[in-house]
Amino acid sequence: MAGSAERLPVLVFDGDCAFCTSCARALERIGPEAKIVAWQVADLDALGITAAQAADAVRWIESDGTIRSGHEALAAALRTAGPPWWIAGRALLLPGISPLAAASYRLIARNRQRLPGGTPACATGREATDSSQGRER
């Protein structure tokens, strides 16, 4: 296959978050044609993203350098998997569904420490961002 010699797309997730790690492992079982890696061990400079961007939302970096985040990143990953997953990936980007998928992604991301598999290390939001940037709360 001609595309196999090219660099695979990369999905970057928060490896410190048990919920995100569980989701990444589930996605690996689905089988997207991508490398799935925690941002804490990824070469972020080579991928063209910052630690702040990686911590903010899951990122999908295409082999051409195009970067997607949040629900668009998940949709891109699903679109590289076989049926029926590629259909779900396309559906996430439909005009009537995409805004709902984006809102759902942000809701889940803000509350991931409360979801099954989540831990206090999964907490995000203003307090988590402020502390990671060295600001007082």
pLDDT at 121: 66
Q: 47 lies in a domain?
A: yes
User: CA–CA separation, 106 vs 86, rounded Å?
Assistant: 22
* pTM to 2 decimal places: 0.81
Q: 17 lies in a domain?
A: yes
| pLDDT tens-digit series, residues 25-66 | 999 999 999 999 999 999 999 999 999 999 899 999 999 999
The CATH number linked to 21 is: 3.40.30
The number of distinct structural domains making up the chain is 1
Calculate mean pLDDT across residues 87-113.
Answer: 93
pLDDT at 132: 42
| pLDDT tens-digit series, residues 3-21 | 445 689 999 999 988 888 9
Q: 134 lies in a domain?
A: no
Q: 1 lies in a domain?
A: no
Q: 2 lies in a domain?
A: no
Q: 117 lies in a domain?
A: yes
User: CA–CA separation, 98 vs 31, rounded Å?
Assistant: 23
Q: 16 lies in a domain?
A: yes
pLDDT at 95: 96
Expressed as residue numbers, the domain containing 61 is 8-127
User: CA–CA separation, 82 vs 78, rounded Å?
Assistant: 8
| pLDDT tens-digit series, residues 22-31 | 899 999 999 9
Q: 94 lies in a domain?
A: yes
Helix and strand numbers (H, E) in the chain are 7, 4
